[in-house]
Structure 1
Amino acid sequence: MRDFGAGFKYLAKGQRWMTRHGRSYGLGLLPGLVTLVLYLGALVGLFTWSDDFVAWATPFADGWGETWLTLFRGVLRALLFALALFLAVVTFTAVTLLVGQPFYEALSERVDKSRSPDGTAPESGLPLVRELWISARDSVRVLVRVLCYGVLLFACGFIPVVGQTVVPVLGFCVSGFFLTEELTAVALQRRGIELKERLRLLRSRRSMILGFGVPLTLAYLVPFVAVFLMPGAVAGATLMARDLLGEPSVDDEGGEGGEDADGSAASATTA
């Protein structure tokens, strides 16, 4: 539980960092707004056409009685929409980060510079097109993993009791883990850390990662909240990435600050 609380603390610290640096906030909102409009359109379309889709996918049920047919297809529509929401929550960050790559890279660098003892930030040294390609490639790899988990959880949703209790909890944990991976990738990719190593690093502190990602996933279920939390989430993920890697930190007001991955104070060095 201590690790879980440490992860939530990073989420709060990221939002607090944004309140101290208001100029960066407005810029960080734009990509989220664009992505939100796209996702809302897709979900509205799914909701509108879900009846026709479920009927097309289950022709074997056409001969059932009206009561059982309505109940069966109603449950399938609910599960379909729940799966769509699950995927939307998980992929929203990846798509927003891809759309706003230059904005969030700049934001993450500012966070790094504010916490670095010498005021510098790691740079990938790669051209923007190359960075976009790596980000898109890794996002697809993560999405494949998420889809595998999503299909498995979707199938387990039909299990009585377990499908209505354990499965939703596991779904939020999976969403929270991969959501955090996408957010920390902004800072870790600049440091040349590949996806496989990033996943290994996050799994080594799974409880802390869930403490960051699960509350954020739950918050993202509230309409429009994701857009306003996104800049602070990028900032918090950058702070967490620094401490996961054991990089010394000072706070952005000149005092010693930062926390290591255990939640204890990290020793700051002076330039």
Structure 2
Amino acid sequence: MTQKLSPPSQGKSGVNYFLDGFGLIRRKGLRTFVFIPLMINLLLFAAVIYVAVGQLDVLFNWMNAQLPEYLSWLNFLLWPLAVTTMLVMLAFVFSSVMNWLAAPFNGLLAEKVEQLLTGKPMNTGSGMDVVKDLPRILGREWIKLKYYLPRALVFLLLFLVPMVGQTLAPILWFLFSAWMMAIQYCDYPFDNHKVSFKDMRFALNQTRGSSFSFGATVTLFSMIPVVNFIVMPVAICGATAMWVDKYREAYRNPLVSPE
């Protein structure tokens, strides 16, 4: 493994970088790369919600046929609960699926943001080169998923521990989510330069304060209805700006070794 230089320290916080993303997504030259994954996101989410609500309707019609008439008032109680549960579950599953579907577009967006911020063109290929690179891009998403799942399971199991677990679990889950958001979105500019997943985590760990504040801000904004639809491109733009300021000089010409 080639020894990497520690990323240079910068005073700007992760919160500032994320907020910068709102301005970057409106910049000329980036709007197309923001619009395409955003529309895919909206259309797929609308289709999934339409199908899910239809299935809920079938389920409640069946349930009403089984219940006596004097319990029909349960509909007014169970419908909001069922819809809320469905939305929470879909948001979790859908965000994971979207990271896979939008990965090639996200990498392109990070590339264009870096080019805009530095004024230096990257060694980009044709559209066919992007298609040929899909196995590697999806492989990177798989690496992130393998890193996430066992750790997420441990933190979720903490919720089952009486008293202590139920007190600490929400805090630990939020911190873990913040770390994963930093990994998820900062990974795109790192991956564009073929920096390994292990080295990317090392770099983020070296700047823990900005990494956690960036990830925590992404997590909080992801909880806001409607705004959460544009969090992905905003976070990619902000993460790329953070890459340019904090890591690019140390990692732009890495000697890549196998993971």
Short-chain TM bin: 0.5 to 0.7
> Could you tell me which of 203, 227, 230 is aligned with 1:228?
230
Which stretches in structure 2 are left out of the alignment for 5+ residues?
1-8, 58-80, 251-259
Q: Which amino acid aligns with 2:190?
A: L
In 2 relative to 1, CA 177–34 (structure 1 residues): closer, same or farther, beyond 3 Å? farther
With normalisation by structure 2, the TM-score equals 0.67
Distance in 2 separating the partners of 1:227 and 1:28: 10
Q: CA deviation at 1:140?
A: 2.1
Q: Which amino acid aligns with 2:114?
A: D
Distance in 2 separating the partners of 1:87 and 1:181: 22
Cross-structure match for 2:130: 128
1:192 matched to 2:191? The reply is no
Cross-structure match for 2:255: none
Larger deviation, residues 98-107 vs 31-40? 31-40
- What pairs with 1:1-271 in structure 2 (closer than 5 Å)? 6-21=13-28, 23-24=31-32, 25-37=34-46, 40=49, 85=88, 88-89=91-92, 92=95, 95-117=97-119, 119-123=120-124, 127-247=129-249
Between 1 and 2, higher relative CO (CA 8 Å, sep ≥ 6) is seen in 2
Per-residue Cα deviation, 1:100-147 (whole angstroms, up to 9, x for no partner): 244333322221121114x31354899323432222222222222322
Distance in 1 separating the partners of 2:114 and 2:194: 15
In 2 relative to 1, CA 46–182 (structure 1 residues): closer, same or farther, beyond 3 Å? farther
Distance in 2 separating the partners of 1:46 and 1:215: 34
In 2 relative to 1, CA 39–98 (structure 1 residues): closer, same or farther, beyond 3 Å? same
Distance in 2 separating the partners of 1:47 and 1:5: 47
Q: CA deviation at 1:97?
A: 3.7
Q: Note if contact 1:175-1:217 (Cα within 8 Å) is conserved in structure 2.
A: yes
Q: CA deviation at 1:13?
A: 0.8
In 2 relative to 1, CA 123–146 (structure 1 residues): closer, same or farther, beyond 3 Å? same
Q: CA deviation at 1:9?
A: 0.7
User: Which SS does the other structure have where 2:13 is aligned?
Assistant: helix
User: Which SS does the other structure have where 2:24 is aligned?
Assistant: helix
Q: Note if contact 2:10-2:245 (Cα within 8 Å) is conserved in structure 1.
A: no
In 2 relative to 1, CA 191–86 (structure 1 residues): closer, same or farther, beyond 3 Å? farther
Q: CA deviation at 1:14?
A: 1.2
Distance in 1 separating the partners of 2:54 and 2:176: 26
CA RMSD of aligned residues (A): 3.8
Identity across the alignment (%): 23
Q: CA deviation at 1:192?
A: 0.9
Q: Note if contact 2:107-2:188 (Cα within 8 Å) is conserved in structure 1.
A: yes
In 2 relative to 1, CA 158–142 (structure 1 residues): closer, same or farther, beyond 3 Å? same
Q: CA deviation at 1:45?
A: 9.6
Q: CA deviation at 1:149?
A: 1.9
Q: Which amino acid aligns with 2:42?
A: L
Which stretches in structure 1 are left out of the alignment for 5+ residues?
49-76, 249-271
Distance in 2 separating the partners of 1:36 and 1:211: 28
Q: Which amino acid aligns with 1:120?
A: P
User: Which SS does the other structure have where 2:25 is aligned?
Assistant: helix
In 2 relative to 1, CA 87–217 (structure 1 residues): closer, same or farther, beyond 3 Å? farther
Q: CA deviation at 1:99?
A: 1.7
Per-residue Cα deviation, 1:148-197 (whole angstroms, up to 9, x for no partner): 12221222112233333321121122122122222122211110112121
